[in-house]
Amino acid sequence: MKNTASRSKFVLVLAGILLFGLLTFVIRYFMFADRWISHSHRSGTASIQKVTDRSGTVLYAPNEDQVYAKDAMVRKAALHLLGDREERIDALAIKQYIPQLVGFDKLNGTYGNEDGTGILELTVDGRIEAVALQALNGKKGTVGVYNYKTGEILCAISSPTFDPYDPPEITDANAEQYEGAYLHRFFSYTYTPGSIFKLVTVAAALENVPDITEQTFTCEGYVYVNGERINCQGGKAHGEQTLEQALANSCNCAFAEITQQVGAKNLINKVRQIGLTESMFVDGYYTKAGTFDKAFSEANNLAWAGIGQHTDMVNPCQYMTYMGAIANGGKAAMPYLVSSVESGGAQRYKARRTYTNSMITGSAARVLTEMMHNNVVKMYGAVNLPNVEVCAKSGTAERAGHENTATFAGFINDERYPLAFVVVVEEGGAGSAACAPIAAAVLKQCISVLNEES
């Protein structure tokens, strides 16, 4: 009997497993319940009323048979934030706030919430996004604009896109046309930056090379670094230039020299300080982290990296934030997409302003701002908008097997329109020619929206 009795502890093992499982599950409930609930509207267990843009225009009403915006261009432009009907595109920002949309908290669950009353307001404006998509004119790429004082993202579009009412059947034949159509390039892609990266190199130079603004750099159209020939665009000799002129000319020869003076360590540190190689969290989206060489055993590689080639890759949203930091004197508001969520008539979420780390010193930011405005005045007439001070830099990034990627980044240095922007056009050719008109059109629309709001 003693033996039988002690062997009946078999039951204790089973009860132990059961109770351990229960404990594990309860812990998991407290850790993940909001993640579970974030599937609720798609699974049919709960519904939400609508997603609007900053003007209150309905972009998406999941309740009523998944209705999107009336205007086809707005519909296509906002698609990546809203998700398609087949859920091939993950609407991460909306998903992030489903708990608030269905009135969920871990104590009450969704108790007391009237189903189908959730309203989510995005910071974007449908009209601005439509203009941006129009301006891209069918090219692949992305356009992002945000308010570096508040953090509101006014525009974040990704192309190629499609009409959610008429989703394309993607086959081998059109796979190229729809390459990456289900991803939001603004958050989930990285690009070779090209010369817009010179804004990082300049910042590093301003902070680490004391007399950099007094130096001059002579350009003969090419220079040899460690035996490798580095050309200026079109082999054009820029002659003797200051740092400001070299930036405006986007002179590769001068920057090869500047990069050597900055040194690998300082440049790497600058990239790290700006956070270009890290992922950033923006309302449900983890931006794709950029890359930057870690060692630079060869001087020519360092030179190329300072010019925005070599292994440099940056994420558009991340780079736009850096533009905001320059504009805002060193650090900017963190970008966000969702301004508020309400459910059952009660506000469940309201965006709060947070700031980035300090990316550059205030004095470097001031000098860069002047230089970037000089770029616009001297080189990018297209974005030289009346009555506002636009600051920018273009880039033309080489991409193996493809036409060059056109990049453009900058900001408006104006209290009334504190906007930073980034434009990337894949296979767009020369940076400023492809991107500056797009940036101009979008910024104009932004200004008119902001005027309307005030």
Partner 1 sequence: MEVFQNLVRGPDGITVLSVCYLILRIAMPVMAMFIMIRCGKSLLGFRREPEVWAWLRMPTGNLLPVTHWENLIGRKKTADIVLDFATVSKNHAVLTRKDDGSWKVTSIGGRGNIEVNGTQVMTGNVEYGDTISLGGLELTLEPVSKEEARLQSDARTKAGKGHSPGLTLVLLTLFQMMVVTAFVMYPTEHRNTILTAYGILVGVEWTLFIGQKLIKRSGFEVETVAFFLMTIGLGVAASANPANMFKQLISMGIGLVIFLVLGVFLRNLDKAKKLRYVAAIAGIVLLAANLVLGRNINGSRNWIYIGSFSIQPSELVKICFVLAGASTMDQIVTRKNLLSFVIYTAFIGGCLVVLNDFGTAAVFFVGFLAIAFLRSSSYPNVALIFVGIGLAAVMVLTAVLAIRNIPHVQERFSGYGHIWSHVYDNKGYQQTRSLICIASGGIFGLGLGRGWMQVMAGAGASDTDLVFAFVSEEWGLLMACMMVVALAFLGLFVARSAKVGRSSFYTIGATAAISMLLVQAMLNFFGTVDFLPLTGVTFPFVSNGGSSMMCCWGLLAFIKACDTRQNASFAVKLSEKEVEKA
Residues that bind partner 1 (CB under 8 A): 1-12, 14-15, 17-19, 21-22, 24-26, 28-29, 33-34, 36-37, 39-40, 42-43, 45-46, 102-114, 344, 346, 348
Alpha helix ranges (H) inside 264-399: 264-274, 299-307, 316-327, 362-378
- Name the residue nearer to partner 1 (CB basis): 9 or 399: 9
Instruction: Give the 3-state secondary structure of residue 134.
Output: helix
Distance CA 433, CA 442 (A): 15
387: DSSP letter: T
Residue 86 vs 415, nearer CB to partner 1: 86
| Cα–Cα distance measured from residue 303 to residue 256, given in angstroms and rounded to the nearest whole number | 5
Sign of CA dihedral 183, 193, 320, 281: positive
User: Between 28 and 353, whose beta carbon lies closer to partner 1?
Assistant: 28
E-state strands within 128-200:
141-147, 153-159
Q: Where are the alpha helices (DSSP H) in 315-454?
A: 316-327, 362-378, 431-453
CB of residue 329 to partner 1, shortest distance in Å: 36
Torsion of CA 62, 64, 65, 71, to 10 degrees: -80
Tell me 339's DSSP state: E
Hunting for tokens 């991340």 — which residue is that?
Answer: 318
Length of the chain: 454
User: From the CB of 441, what's the least distance to partner 1, in Å?
Assistant: 40
Residue number, 3 or 297, with CB nearest to partner 1: 3
Q: How far is the CB of 103 from partner 1 (least distance, A)?
A: 7
Residue that has been written with the tokens 């001297």 in this structure: 378
Cβ 104 to partner 1 shortest distance, Å = 7
Eight-class DSSP state of 183:
S
**Closest approach of partner 1 to the CB of residue 40, in Å:** 5
**What H or E segment, with its residue span, contains residue 60?**
strand 58-61
**Least CB distance to partner 1 at residue 23 (A):** 9
Cβ at position 285, least distance to partner 1 in Å = 18
Cβ proximity to partner 1: between 104 and 411 the closer is: 104
Burial 33-70 (b: 16+ CB within 10 A, else e): ebeebbebbbeeebbbbbbbbbeebbbbbbbeeebbbe
Nearer CB in complex with partner 1: 350/399: 350
Least gap, CB of 284 to partner 1 (angstroms): 16
The one-letter code for the residue type at 120 is L
21/168 with CB nearer partner 1: 21
Q: Would you call 139 helix, strand, or coil by DSSP?
A: coil
Residue with tokens 């190629």: 160
- Give the residue with the Cβ less far from partner 1, 7 or 294: 7
